[in-house]
Structure 1
Amino acid sequence: MKKVSQLICSFALGSMMALPSFAQPLEQPNSPDYNPKATYDGPYKLNTWSISAHFGPSMFFGDLREYDFWPVTKTSSDSHKESGTFQGGLTINKQLSYLFGARLDGSIGNLRGMKRRNYNRYFEGDYFDVSLAGTVNLKGLLMGPNKMKRWKVDAYVGVGQIFYDATAYDLTGGIKLRETGKKNDWIIPTGLNINYEVSKRFDIGLDFRLNHTNSDYLDATYGGDYDRTPNSFVIEDQKTSRKGNSELDSYGYGSIQLTYKLGKKALKVAKTDGKWDYKPEEGYYHLRYTDPKVLIKPPKILTLEEMDSVAKANRPEDIDPRLLLDTDGDGVSDFFDKEPNSPAGSVVDGSGRVLDFDSYVKNALATGAACSEIFANVMFDTDKNTIKPEYEEMLKNVAALMNKNGCRLQLAGHTDRRASDRYNIALSRRRVDAVKDYLVNQAGLTDPSKVIVDYFGSFKPIADSGRREGLQKNRRVELKLLP
């Protein structure tokens, strides 16, 4: 019977602890502010620590126990009893979330037990235990944060140590049979904790706990260490074995509990017009009773008039059409272009003004200014790659500037669209080579590696190839000075 009862208790408590993995709320909370899928990242904080004191009767379950559930009381025919043992202690609680938490327990108490049949013994002992357990809020898990708002029901399981000292006596003559001395062993506490929120600082409750020990010696008796004879019971202790042949001992208690909730500016939620009215700006609610998700206010739904007003207030100014136009095609919009009618193919600055490449090079030579990106074109006659005399002075100045300031030069050869693509590619290459050859052999460029060459044939025109003027502008080598 004892084994069956302990199995039932363990299974029930284990089932309660397993609920978080598969249980869902039976009914959604009736608060319009509650969103079970929302995460709390708002500005409001909650208090999470509390401390509890508990006191109540203790009970032993093991070899020296007469009945499974009810202790033996003292009668006229029996000078010993199992009742009248008590325990008390403190618990430090930390709420990790609305549903889960942790508790650190310390208890001190005493135990008694007796067994007439087989053993003819009784024992008395004192103990102190300490344990760390994880908790799950069953009320919040099954009913949400607003139903039975003032109640908190936790199931818990953990691990700890017991320190005990017990003595076993002969039930008939009171002879001392064995003393355990001061010993300690592991325990696994399981329990159910019920609390009611009395005020913003205090809770009252009940705590029911069963401690499973890793010892069969809590009653100073190894189970099964007896030999039955026809006339008497003879105890033959198995002193060489840590555990006997019976189940391991356990003990528990039921206690009254008073909890003080720590933290600053404590609040207790109240009802307004039949609904829970949260005011987190006034202080701190406790995570024991408040799901942070209820502090998330629902978004305001705007009316059509409000949406129209917001749209008008945030309407951007009309764009100046000149920002979208570039009349002369120089890459600067007419809104910023100081010379909106620059000739096609002109090299311009950021304000659209035409830059004189030759003047820039001469000025840089005279002042020693650093090189900047600037363009120029060397034009060619039809199907020719001969440098015209009007470009010779400019190329000599470019070579001198490169020798003096270390500038680099990028050359890109082009043709008009007449002739085949293969022929035009070859012609554009000959034109680039002609310019580079002039820079090195005629203009005196000392470092040819500073010249970067490329050629595109007729694939990158800058003017309309359907007109004679356009054909002339496309027969070119582009020069681009680089720092």
Structure 2
Amino acid sequence: MKPNFKKVTMLLTGLMVGGKLFAQTPMADSTTAKDYVKPFSPETSFRTWSIGVHAGILTPYSLFNPLGKADFVNSKEELGYGIYVKKQILSSLGIQADFFRGKVSSEAGQRNGLGTLNNNSFTTQVSYAASLSANITLANINWRHQKGAIQPYVTVGGGLMGYKPHSITAGGPEVPFKAGDGTISEFYIPLGGGLKFNLGDGVNLDLGYVVNFVNSDNFDGYKFQFTNDKFSYIHAGLEFALGLKSKPQLASHNPVSSMRTEYLWENMNTKNQLQSQIDAQKAANDKLKADLAATNANLAKFTADSDGDGVPDFYDKCPNTPAGTKVDGAGCPLPVNKPVVIVTEADKKIVRDAIRNLEFDFGKSTIRAKSYPSLNRVANLLTEKNFSLKLAGHTDNVGSDDANMKLSKDRAESIKSYLVSQGANASRVEATGYGETQPIASNKTAKGRQANRRVEFTLF
């Protein structure tokens, strides 16, 4: 057996074995909207037309043409090319119209009637070969995967071939087998198989092998042992699906997987509906609990009495009254008859004397000792008559605003601290600083600035 024939046989075997392996290659379990078609959908849901082009090697050898029966024992590989149009009827069956041309030749090595070889050879020009075949797609029926990565297929059909055989005697010219233009038209049967690899959206790589059975022994221009001639075509090409890209190819569609997907989706929808009902009931129960809690909270408003004054909070217009305070029906304290406090002219004079005699160290809040007698009389007045006193510190505009504000506050606090140390009630003495914000004279003169540096006493 020649090396070329061995290569062809090994290639075909590898393709068929690889097809069986790859046809079941797991695809992603997730199904895209484009890949999925609802079971029993009409043909219009798919792309059913496709067109393909191919080219390859033509050789007189084939799987059905062993060397013991071959007219010529030395093959010569020649170029062949073709085109086809296919209409997919079912996911596993298509009708394919093929057309191809090329040349089939041999090297020297013609078998004669004595069982020996001579140096004759032949060359046959295939002017046309048109056939109609059934294309049967294998291994695309699978429960788990929407479609396979590879589509193995076989084809069988029949057609008409026009060819021109020439015999070549050793050292001589080519001699037409038939007189005239030399064309012979014969019926032939193409039988083949191959693999289609899904390259992308509607594009397949087509690797195939076809044995063409010619209905005569004229193809090689030599009649020997009354057997019809055969030749092989090993080709590679591209197939393009026609139609809308949004539709899947019927040839790669897996109908049983669509049924499985539909079943899973229906179960999932049922599960989702049950879960939705459970979630709705749970939400209703949560709402009832929330409504009950709100009702209990509203009822509690009519009995809660946070300040313990005997009036529920819902009706209490004066919440947080001190314990033991007598209140009215609205929870507000009853009026208390307080003694009338009268500030006499003598009391005011004591305060004026204290203001007039008040002195501080320069730029500080330290009270000078000469101010103590007057302040002592103010402390006694606050203690004896339970008066309240407001101290308001002021400065001129010399210095920064922040420094003056702090100084005025510190001086008022210093006076308060001294009065408290002499027995005055701290809660009845208020100390506030106003800085330079409330002048009583112009700060443009020394006299005015001195008037603005003061602490005002307000007795009440």
Q: Do these two structures clear the TM 0.5 threshold for a shared fold by scoring above it?
A: no
TM-score, reference length from structure 2: 0.45
- The structure with the largest helix share of the pair is 2
TM-score, reference length from structure 1: 0.43
